[in-house]
């Protein structure tokens, strides 16, 4: 019997392809070519599954043109590249890759916070440029992390990981804002207090964004929100591009309305707002918060487990639109 056909949309670990090949006829993109939507649609003809990385848009137009497709397995916890409503309407299951990246991503969120508050990237550029001639009392003075107030917007698993690091490791006072309040036991474990968004923005010394991207969370932080923040505050976005109004942030950084920002995600990435590239008080990284070898392997494995789980055993591990399963 011939194997079901799946497509891997981006370059990935060779062992990921090998695992898939045990169950499926696999077409891959190990050359990591940038496929247009039309090319992706063409490649998906006859495929029942696709391994995506979070950058391939799965929408109504694509679904209508790919009638064989049954599952899109994202190697990412975020799945704003999926139009889940259209997928459910077409009976196509989406899966994501939660949990396996939580601690790695929380580590990175904290690293970016520290690099931002302590001006690590800016001072390193200064040194590399040969500008360090003498020590000075005020050279690259940043803001303290220990004992300061950490404000977390989006208190899912990664937000909680950042809260634990801040509260337990650095003695920070942690406040958070989320769609729903955590239960008391989890709040106690994270040593975090629930506050309104406005209060968080006004009181936090460091604001970290870990909220999923949805139309409702678009520009959670824009000029009005930045205006509420302390002039000494820092802002870190490890969530998604579009959560922050990057143009407004660039203006605020230039005018020192807040002290600094750390950004791992950008509106329209991999493009970066040109004004962000010219301001010194921002640390910019290319969407690498989950990028350690073990974690990226675990994410790829989970996407493969979902493809096998659904297409071979009828049981996906981490569905994002389980309504499709109820329909079957
Ligand atoms: C990365 O951004 C992810 O959503 O996993």
Taking only the tens place, the pLDDT of each residue in 225-278 is 999 999 999 999 999 999 999 999 999 999 999 999 999 999 999 999 999 999
Cβ pair 48, 71 in contact under 8 A: yes
54 with 116, same domain: the answer is no
Cβ pair 57, 81 in contact under 8 A: yes
How does pLDDT run along the chain (328 residues), one tens digit per residue? 799 999 999 999 999 999 999 999 999 999 999 999 999 999 999 999 999 999 999 999 999 999 999 999 999 999 999 999 999 999 999 999 999 999 999 999 999 999 999 999 999 999 999 999 999 999 999 999 999 999 999 999 999 999 999 999 999 999 999 999 999 999 999 999 999 999 999 999 999 999 999 999 999 999 999 999 999 999 999 999 999 999 999 999 999 999 999 999 999 999 999 999 999 999 999 999 999 999 999 999 999 999 999 999 999 999 999 999 987 7
Q: Whose CA is nearest to atom 5 of ligand 1?
A: 76
Taking only the tens place, the pLDDT of each residue in 197-206 is 999 999 999 9
Q: Whose CA is nearest to atom 3 of ligand 1?
A: 76
272 with 154, same domain: the answer is yes
Global pTM value:
0.96
CATH number of domain containing 215: 3.40.50.720
CA proximity to 172, closest of 204, 140, 197, 210: 204
177 with 273, same domain: the answer is yes
60 with 38, same domain: the answer is yes
Q: Whose CA is nearest to atom 1 of ligand 1?
A: 76
Q: Which position among 90, 165, 240, 296 bears the catalytic label?
A: 240
235 with 306, same domain: the answer is no
Domain count, the chain: 2
Residues 6+ apart with CB under 8 A from 269: 241, 286, 287
84 with 106, same domain: the answer is no
33 with 79, same domain: the answer is yes
89 with 69, same domain: the answer is yes
17 with 117, same domain: the answer is no
Q: Is there an atom of ligand 1 within 6 Å of 156 CB?
A: no
- State in Å, rounded, how far the first CA of the chain is from the last one: 23
14 with 86, same domain: the answer is yes
Domain residues for 167?
102-284
Q: Is there an atom of ligand 1 within 6 Å of 78 CB?
A: yes
């Amino acid at each position: 019997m011939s194997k079901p056909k799946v497509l891997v949309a981006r370059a990935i670990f060779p062992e990921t392809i090998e695992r898939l090949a045990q169950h499926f006829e696999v077409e891959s993109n190990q050359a990591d070519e940038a496929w247009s939507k039309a090319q992706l649609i063409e490649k998906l003809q006859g495929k029942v599954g696709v391994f995506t990385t979070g950058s391939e848009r799965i929408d109504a137009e694509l679904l209508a043109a790919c009638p064989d497709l049954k599952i899109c397995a994202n190697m990412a916890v975020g799945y704003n590249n999926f139009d889940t409503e259209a997928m459910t309407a077409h009976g196509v299951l989406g899966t994501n890759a939660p949990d396996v990246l939580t601690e790695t991503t929380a580590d990175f969120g904290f690293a970016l916070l520290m690099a931002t508050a302590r001006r690590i990237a800016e001072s390193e550029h200064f040194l590399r440029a040969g500008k360090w001639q003498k020590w000075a009392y005020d050279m690259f003075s940043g803001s303290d992390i220990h004992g300061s107030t950490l404000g977390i917007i989006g208190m899912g698993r990664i937000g909680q990981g950042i809260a634990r690091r801040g509260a337990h490791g650095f003695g920070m006072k942690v406040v958070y804002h989320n769609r729903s309040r955590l239960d008391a036991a989890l709040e106690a474990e994270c040593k975090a207090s629930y506050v309104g968004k406005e209060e968080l923005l006004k009181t936090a010394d460091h604001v970290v964004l870990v909220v999923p991207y949805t139309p409702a969370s678009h520009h959670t932080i824009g000029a009005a929100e930045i205006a509420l923040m302390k002039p000494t505050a820092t802002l870190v976005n490890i969530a998604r591009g579009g959560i922050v109004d990057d143009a407004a942030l660039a203006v605020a950084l230039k005018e020192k309305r807040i002290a600094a920002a750390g950004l791992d995600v950008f509106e329209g990435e991999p493009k970066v707002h040109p004004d962000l590239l010219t301001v010194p008080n921002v640390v910019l990284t290319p969407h690498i918060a989950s990028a350690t070898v073990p974690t990226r392997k675990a994410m790829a494995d989970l996407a493969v487990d979902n493809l096998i789980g659904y297409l071979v055993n009828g049981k996906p591990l981490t569905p994002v639109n389980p309504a499709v399963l109820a329909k079957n």
